[in-house]
Amino acid sequence: MEAIIDGVWQILYSNNPKIQAFAVSKDSKVIWQTSNWDPSKQIGDLLAAVDSAASSVTLNKVTYDRVSSNVTSYVSSNGKGQGHLLMARVEKGVWLIAWATPESVPELAAVDLQKTAIDLTGQL
Could you report the per-residue pLDDT of 73-98, keeping only the tens digit for each? 999 999 999 999 999 999 999 999 99
Does CATH number 3.30.450.30 belong to domain 2-120? yes
* Burial of 38: CB neighbours in 10 Å, binned 0-12, 13-18, 19+: middle
Could you report the per-residue pLDDT of 21-33, keeping only the tens digit for each? 999 999 999 999 9
The answer to pTM > 0.75 is yes
Residue 97: count other Cβ atoms within 10 Å of its Cβ. 25
Give the closest residue to 68 by CA, choosing from 32, 106, 97, 29: 106
Mean pLDDT over 40-47 rounds to 95
Residue count of the chain? 124
